[in-house]
Structure 1
Amino acid sequence: MEPVTAQDVHDAATRIQGHVVRTPLTVGPDTDRPFLVKPESLQPTGAFKLRGATNALALLDGDRRERGVVTHSSGNHGLALTLAAVREGVACTVVVPEGAPETKVYRIRALGARVVVVPPAERESAVEDLVAKEGATFVSPFDDRRVIAGQGTVGLEILEQSPDVTTIVVPVGGGGLASGVVTAAWTVHPRRVRVVGVEPELAADAAESLREGRRIPWEPERTYRTMADGVRVCLSDLTFAHLRDRLDAIVTVTEEEIAEGVRALAHGSRLVAEPSGALSTAALLSGKVETIPGRPEATVAVLSGGNIDPDLFVRLVEPD
């Protein structure tokens, strides 16, 4: 499959304009390691996923709209696809793995999607069955050029909002966001803007795959150990190819570093982040990605989402 291009990302930006929030850049929580934060948690669905879902729905033809769409998601992509589908008058089904945060599943249902709950290992096969039986169109959370192009608009906005940026730090799960952002940076400002991916140590399939030069999926029993539920999925062949060819580096963070990222964003930047959304901040606060002293505008951490279970949020942000 052909890689996503800068033109694809620019076209997506035009399509989604007026349907998603142009999120601001705000000051990060650590004055010793200065950086800016791109809070995609401010999107109507609480995460960046609305960009890709909106772009994908806009490109569906009439026949496919009639038959509806289906996806699998631990929450954020399901929320995004549901809202995008409701806006377009398209029926939506979301296959959700057991153990997904209740706050996300509740909101998916509340927006109007049909929810099908299955064991984590069966999420993809359940979608395949629905496509075969009902003729619905599968919109992948990340393994889709239209989705990747939509997510890439995060990178375009950063480049416009902080022209002096030299490093963008982005969470990596299935790799759609990282693939889109690195495409924007790599094609708009080649060699000038470095893009660094971040994964939990407990779900580091992308780090291992890029190190070995081949895609190495991790089974759900391994990835489900991390609290960062939004990045428990693995790279696809498409996203692996993008990151292999374009990503500058990838680092991993511990569960405690993720928790500290959530706490720091809450107390220092007044931002609510789910564990997956705090990965970039965790990498910067732990020193695994360097910043430039006195130049916060040079480094941007993407806060990918803020749909955290309230009880977990309280436990993470409460003083010890």
Structure 2
Amino acid sequence: MGVLIGISDIREAAERIGGHVVRTPTIHSPGLSEFLGTPVTTKLELLQRTGSFKARGATAKLLTLTDAERAAGVVAVSGGNHGIALAHMAAALHIKATVVMSRTAPRRAADLVEETGASLRLTDGMAEAFALTERLRAEGLTLVHPFDDALVIAGQGTVGLEFAEDAAELTDIVVSIGGGGLIAGVAVAFKALRPDVRVWGVETEGATTMAEALAAGGPVTVDLSSIVTTLSPPAVSQLTYDHVSALVEDILVVSDAEAVRGVLDLAEHAKVWAEPAAGCLLPAARQVVERVGDGARLGLVVCGGNATTADIMEWARRFDL
């Protein structure tokens, strides 16, 4: 196992990015508590700049660049939210950014990237997107990886730092997993500050990169078929795998239909408009309650809200919701 980041790394990241990102609300949700039959506290990271937690990690990395790296520019590969965050935060810091995305990414995400003035490069799939990003990195751009970077993970870990500091009593935290940067950082923060809290990860069917990595004993490449592109890298990294295997209770897998149903349930019961990467938390939370029994007090990291009404309605019709 490699070296894991520590709570000191997350505190340093929090100090570095403090003037650039929002300390998002941590609130008890009466509606979700009634819906799930147990007390629920939410960390509303969909209210973050750029609509997701990704602004934290991107900013944490950008603020460490040398003058030469800033001048050369940065590149990132993204299923949506990381690219939006990097493009937006790089523009604010006057750094030229190139974002590589699959054509399967939401059109709104591509539009938001282009609106910042960043260069957008589209590929036929996520594997091709990662390959193009590596070529651009070799040409001299600095890579801002969405999860395989200790600075980025520390930045995402500030979500957990704030949640652990601001929430009342919790027994279990539920966090979505794409590449694993968010859950790695959140788990480090909670295990340092609230070691008795269990941390659970959630993936969707067709994007089970972390679950398959844990089964195989290390990162493996997965054939992707989930509609939830923001949770769909072709593989997790050794760095995020090491954190999750050491600190996370288990990975829960839900269907795409359940994730979309969760978006509708979040709107109805929590009064927030989230994306399927956050909607998957609710069916997973039910699994957690079934496994831990009475006395569960849940924390949900509502990671992002970058989905349009048209996106959700199309998916709802597809799954006959």
Aligned residue type for 2:304:
G
**CA distances 1:56-95 after superposition (whole Å, capped 9, x unpaired):** 0111111111111001111100111112211211100001
> Residue 11 of structure 2 aligns to which amino acid in structure 1?
H
> Which residue in the other structure is 1:107 paired with?
112
State the alpha-carbon separation in 1 of the partners of residues 315 and 291 from structure 2.
25
Structure 1 residue 215 corresponds to structure 2 residue 202? no
Equivalence for 2:264: 263
1:150 matched to which residue of 2?
A: 155
Residue 124, structure 1, aligned to residue 114, structure 2: no
Q: Any idea what the Cα deviations from partners look like across 1:86-115, whole Å, max 9, x if unmatched?
A: 121110000111111001110011012110
- 1:35 aligns to what? 40
Query: What's the CA shift string for 1:22-53, capped at 9, x where partnerless?
Result: 11123153502431221211112011000000
Cα distance, 1:281 vs. partner? Answer: 2.2
Q: Deviations over 1:211-257 (max 9, x none)?
A: 33222220xxx32x212111111211111111111112111111222
CA distance in 2, matches of 1:108, 1:261: 27
Give distance in 2, aligned partners of 1:187 and 1:315: 42
- Per the alignment, residue 279 of structure 1 pairs with 280
Counterpart mapping for 1:1-320 below 5 A: 2-26=3-27, 27=29, 29-31=32-34, 32-120=37-125, 121-133=127-139, 135-190=140-195, 192-218=196-222, 222-223=223-224, 225-233=225-233, 234-285=235-286, 298-315=297-314
Q: Distance in 1 between matches of 2:81 and 2:22?
A: 16
Which has the larger displacement, 58-67 or 124-133?
A: 124-133
When normalised by structure 1's length, the TM-score is 0.91
C-alpha distance in 1, partners of 2:83/2:250?
29
2-structure distance, mates of 1:182, 1:43? 20
Answer whether contact 2:260 2:280 (CA < 8 A) is retained.
Answer: no
| Partners of 1:256 and 1:140 in 2: CA distance | 29
CA distance in 2, matches of 1:214, 1:75: 25
Q: Which amino acid aligns with 1:313?
A: I
The CA deviation string for residues 255-277 of structure 1, in whole angstroms up to 9 with x for no partner, is 22212211110111111111112
After TM superposition, the structure 1 stretch with the greater mean CA deviation from structure 2, 285-294 or 16-25, is 285-294
**How many angstroms apart in 1 are the aligned matches of 2:314 and 2:38?**
25
Alpha carbons of 1:247 and 1:98: their partners in 2 closer, same or farther (altered >3 Å)? Answer: same
Helix, strand or coil: the match of 2:46?
helix
Change (3 A) 1:282 1:5: same
Give ranges in structure 1 of 5+ residues lacking alignment. none
In structure 2, how many angstroms separate the alpha carbons of the residues matched to 1:278 and 1:39?
13
- Unaligned ranges ≥5, structure 2: none
Asked whether the 8 Å contact 1:69–1:90 carries over to 2, the reply is yes
TM-score by length of 2: 0.91
CA apart distance, 1:317: 6.4
Q: Percent identity?
A: 37
Q: CA RMSD in A?
A: 2.0
Moved more, 34-43 or 88-97: 34-43
Q: Deviations over 1:182-234 (max 9, x none)?
A: 111122233x111100001221121122133222220xxx32x2121111112
Shift in alpha-carbon separation, 1:79–1:260, aligned structure 2, 3 A? same
What is the alpha-carbon distance in structure 2 between the residues aligned to residue 264 and residue 291 of structure 1?
A: 22
What is the number of residues matched between the two proteins?
312
Q: Which has the higher contact order (CA 8 A, sep 6+)?
A: 1
CA distance in 2, matches of 1:305, 1:45: 9
Runs of 4 or more, structure 1, over 6 Å off, are none
- Decide whether aligned partners of structure 1 residues 294 and 2 sit closer, same or farther in structure 2, where only a CA change above 3 A counts: closer
